[in-house]
Chains A and B, each alone.
Chain A
Amino acid sequence: MGEQGVAVRASVSSESQLTEQETDELVKEFEAALDQNLSEAVAAIQTLLKFIKTCKVGTISGLRAELKVATETLIKARTSTVSVSSGCELFLRFITMTSLEGQNDFEDLRRKLIKRGDMYLQKVADSRQKIAHIANPFIRDGTTILTHSRSRVVYCLLKEAMSSGKRIKVFVTASTIDNSGEEMHQLLQDAKVPSKVILDSAVGFIMEEVDLVIVGAEGVAESGGIINKIGTYQMAVMAKALNKPFYVVAESFKFVRMYPLNQGDLPNDEKYTSVNSSEDSHPYIDYSPPQYITLLFSDIGVLTPSAVSDELIKLYL
């Protein structure tokens, strides 16, 4: 399995660069998909699927090489790349799991890949709803929840809890680097969920009043730890110190083959945003180690952090 990956990478480096036009089309397609309020990985997968449909190659290895280059282009296009890279890799693995031997007709094969791709897209499209359904029983009536910044999965979960008749109260951190906490607050207000914005520095202050902490994730590492918006790590440590359960909600395509040992191990290009060039010394993401996480809710079920590696092995092998 490892050697296969190496061989593909080698072939990519020697050939196939997309033309300028193709690159632009790809990026435009991607940003259009993002506007549909899909998560970044799903948008990337959709774009890749369209790319396969319109790609002008004649061989399997050629297609693979093109896809690799396309993935890299997508990763460079957007700042939060952890979920995009993991989603794309899993998508590729999923569709190429079809038996490719004895397929002389490339077009037939392409159609097969597209069908599998649509199937995968369908599966991940309702993963958010699935997670909300799985995690709902863990939120009891009358709980106070603390969440961090803006996460579509957490929003979906809170909406579901609200609509199943539970009374909940939500605190959201402002996440002042891009004020996405305010956006989350707005969304929650629109959904009639009672919520309040707090300062990032007030997490320690508020922790004794909350019953549990729920955050989303940009990537779930092999160790079981999560990579998320900056500020998640300190929230996790505070929760552990005050014995509050710390739950993470993440779709299965966010499981990535990374194993950071500490904050310094996070890849630099994902840490710092290219957008805020004046403030580019501030990191954008951080890593929360698995010992602070109580449970992970994903569409493959409820997992403990040590089970993440198990699932990753199943997904990737």
Chain B
Amino acid sequence: MSSPSPKKQDKEEQKQKAVKAGEGKKGQGKEDGGSGGGGEHGAAVKKPTTKAERRALQEAQRKAKEERLAAQGKGTAKQTTSTSGGGAKRSQASKGGEGGAKLEGKPLEVPRPTRQRNSSSSTSVTTDDHRPNKSSKSSKKATEQQVETGRRVKQLQLFSHLQQYSKAPSSPTLPWHSVSTYTSIHPAIIKLGLHYSHGVICGSNSRCVAMLAAFKKVINDYTTPVQKELRRDLDAHIRPFINFLTHCRPLSVSMGNAIKYLKREISKIGPDQSESEAKRLLCATIDEYLELYIVKAGTEISKLCQNIIKDNDVILVYAFSSVVQRVLLDAHCSGRQFRVIVVDSRPKMEGRHMLRTLVQKGVKCSYVLINAVSYIMKEVSKVIVGAHSLLANGYVMSRIGTSQVALVARSFNVPVLVCCETYKFSDRVQTDSIVNNELGDPNDLVQINRRQGNFLTGWKDIPCLGLLNLVYDVTSPDLVSMVITELGVIPCTSVPVVLRISRDETAAV
């Protein structure tokens, strides 16, 4: 095809890679294993170049590659801007079809991208010296997405270590240009994945519940292949599904914990159990998990909050949380007199959903955007928010904007209450919102619904402009007064205690 020339380029890159092998680029080494040895040999023969010289050479090569990419990308960019404009709609069926057809029509793209993938990722890897493996894999993913969908999603340097946003699901392991891969994924999972990536199902609890429901369908439709055991094969069977879901939208902590639980339950199935019995058992445990850790936990949290919400309280809530909604509605039904201030923010505007449901039940509500929160805070007696997850060092990971609300609340001496079920607790530790986050669609920030029109429509063509749409942020524990879980009310710093207890319980079982 055009194998000789890319191969030569490869060799050059191999040399640079081999020279920089000390920085631990195992990722590239693995896939280009064959030529790796040759490259090293070549490097030993050549005279040793200084770091500056090597870097200059790489820069020149990178520029050349980018120019080539731009020439190719511009051709397809026009095609895709039209689809991205209508992308904000929720027609997932047409989206899926469109995406499939678009990718189907470019089977020849695949050999080219694999070559370019190496070069772009090798350059991005040299700039990120401190995170060898993970960054190389995810930035590979990132540039993969760029090339495969043919769309130039501008990457921000600070967030290049995160999975970049792409509307259609993409993956380095599954070649998306062929329809046959869609058939290997269970239709319930495909539907789920598209629901996630288009924002139809949003929110930690709903995503987890939908995922478990889909997995129940998968388990019921699963048949053990001959010569294989259910408890070993089912795990391998659902792994590509989980990968698919991750590429549609990164897994939430709640989903991650649910999957861990499911895998544990699968491994506990006895070898002599019949397939139908095992399947029934698994579905029963999934139902039990949902009932215990989500439904009952919500009820318990609501009960605990009834004593905390007093008459004539002014409660501030941020965006949407299913638990907080439950708490407020239950308190209202039990006759408490209070009023609610709903704070909302772009682009998701989830607060509207919260407002709608509260007003329907007759709760007295006010509605502000987040830029007015310091104005409204002096009237507030309590702030109640939900959480995406609670980290092991006591930090609360929640919808972006929560830490801002908590900070303003602290300065006005207003207590901040976080409602979070224990299944969302995570072992992870982080102190800022950059090291681990989710990137949303930057195009969502373009829509501002003003008479003068959307100023940012042409943001992709402006070279010095980038749009950033972060989904989560972390709130430090000194801004949070208490965390309400189904086990009781605990201070933010006691999350490791709960984790320890639940770990002991699972170990005992």
| A-B complex is real | yes
Residues of B within 8 A of A291 (CB): 478
State the Cβ distance, B371 to closest chain A Cβ, in Å. 27
B478 touches A313 (CB 8 A): no
Residues of A within 8 A of B497 (CB): 309-310, 313
Q: Tally inter-chain residue pairs, CB-CB below 8 A.
A: 35
Residues of B within 8 A of A257 (CB): 488
A299 within 8 A of B: no
Which residues of chain A are near B308, meaning CB under 8 Å? Answer: 261
State in angstroms the CA–CA spacing of A222 and B482 once bound together: 10
Interfacial residues, chain B to chain A (CB-CB below 8 A): 300, 308, 382, 415, 478, 481-482, 488-491, 493-494, 497, 501
Contact of A223 with B by CB under 8 A = yes
- Given the complex of chains A and B, what is the CA–CA distance between A222 and B490 in angstroms? 7
Option from A2, A262, A306, A317 in Cβ contact (under 8 Å) with B491: A306
A224 contacts the other chain (CB 8 A): yes
A-B CB contact pairs (8 Å), 8 listed: A2-B488, A223-B491, A261-B481, A291-B478, A306-B491, A306-B494, A309-B490, A309-B494
Determine the chain B residues whose CB is within 8 A of the CB of A219 once the complex forms.
none
Q: Which residues of A contact B482 (CB under 8 A)?
A: 223, 259, 261
Known A2-B488, A223-B482, A261-B481; contact A309-B415, beta-carbon cutoff 8 A: no
Please give, as numbers and ranges, the residues of chain B lying within 8 Å of A317 by CB-CB distance. Answer: 501
List, in ascending order, chain A residues with CB within 8 A of B481's CB: 223, 261
Q: Please state if B488 and A310 are interface contacts (CB–CB under 8 Å).
A: no
Query: Which chain A residues lie closer than 8 Å to B491 at the CB level?
Result: 222-224, 290, 306, 309
By size class, the interface of chain A is 10 to 19
**Bound complex: CA A222 to CA B493 (Å):** 12
Q: Are B415 and A306 in contact (CB under 8 A)?
A: no
Q: Which residues of A (221-244) have their CB < 8 Å from a CB of B?
A: 222-224
Top 5 nearest A-B pairs by Cβ distance? A306-B493, A309-B494, A261-B415, A259-B489, A310-B497
CA separation between A224 and B308, bound complex, in Å? 18
A224 cross-chain contacts in B, Cβ below 8 A: 491
| Complex contact B415–A262 (CB within 8 A) | yes
A306 to B490: give the CA distance in the assembly, Å: 10
CA distance A291 to B493 in the complex (A): 12
Chain A: minimal CB distance from B395 (Å): 14
B149 nearest CB across to chain A (Å) = 48
With a CB–CB cut-off of 8 A, which chain B residues contact A306?
Answer: 491, 493-494
* A290 surroundings in chain B (CB, below 8 A): 491
Q: Of all chain B residues, which has the CB nearest A314?
A: B497
CA distance A190 to B393 in the complex (A): 48
Tell me the smallest distance from the CB of A3 to a CB of chain B, in Å: 10
Cβ contact within 8 Å between B415 and A310: no
| Nearest residue, chain A, Cβ from B497 | A310
Contacting residues, chain A, for B300 (C-beta < 8 A): 2
What 16 new A-B contacts, CB under 8 Å, besides A257-B488, A309-B497? A222-B490, A222-B491, A223-B481, A223-B491, A224-B491, A259-B489, A262-B415, A290-B491, A306-B491, A306-B493, A306-B494, A309-B494, A313-B490, A313-B497, A313-B501, A317-B501
- Taking the closest CB of chain A, its distance from the CB of B422, in whole angstroms, is 13
With a cutoff of 8 Å between Cβ atoms, the chain A residues found around residue B501 in the complex are: 313, 317
Chain B residue contacts of A222, Cβ below 8 A: 489-491
Task: Give the shortest distance, in Å, between A316 (CB) and chain B (any CB).
Answer: 9
Provide the bound-state CA to CA distance between A291 and B477, in Å: 12
**Alpha-carbon distance between A223 and B491 when the two chains are bound, in angstroms:** 6
Query: How many angstroms from the CA of A2 to the CA of B308 in the assembled complex?
Result: 17
Cα(A223)–Cα(B308), bound, Å = 14
Give the distance in Å from the alpha carbon of A157 to the alpha carbon of B482 in the complex: 33
CB neighbors of B among A258-273 (8 A): 259, 261-262
B410 to chain A, nearest CB (A): 11
Shortest B467–chain A CB gap in Å is 39
Which A residues lie within 8 Å of B488 (CB)? 2, 257
Question: Smallest CB–CB gap between B101 and chain A, Å?
Answer: 55
| Distance from B118 Cβ to chain A, minimum over Cβ atoms (Å) | 49
Give Cα A13 to B488, complex, Å: 24
B-side contacts of A2, CB under 8 Å: 300, 488
Assembly CA distance A222 to B494 (angstroms): 10
Complex CA gap A259/B501 in Å reads 21
A259 and B400 CA atoms in complex are apart in Å by 28
Q: State how many angstroms separate the Cβ of B487 from the closest Cβ of chain A.
A: 8
Report Cα–Cα, A31/B494, bound state, in Å. 38
Shortest Cβ distance from A261 into B: residue: B415
CA distance A246 to B442 in the complex (A): 50
Q: Would you call A309 and B478 a contact (CB within 8 A)? A: no
A-side contacts of B494, CB under 8 Å: 306, 309-310, 313
Residues 1 to 59 of chain A near chain B (Cβ within 8 Å): 2
User: A261 to B382, alpha carbons, bound, how many Å?
Assistant: 10
When C-beta atoms are compared, the residue in chain B nearest to A316 turns out to be B488
For B382, the chain A residues whose CB sits under 8 A away are 261
> With A and B bound together, what is the CA distance between A317 and B490 in angstroms?
14
**Residues of the A chain whose Cβ atoms lie less than 8 Å from the Cβ of B489:** 222, 259
Instruction: State the CA gap A2–B482 with chains docked (Å).
Output: 19
Contacts of B478 in A (CB 8 A): 291
Closest to A259 in B: B489
* Residues of B contacting A309 in the complex (Cβ-Cβ under 8 angstroms): 490-491, 493-494, 497
| Interfacial chain A residues near B493, Cβ < 8 Å | 306, 309
Nearest CB of A to B412, in Å: 13
Interface centre among B481, B482, B489, B494 (most CB of A within 10 A): B494
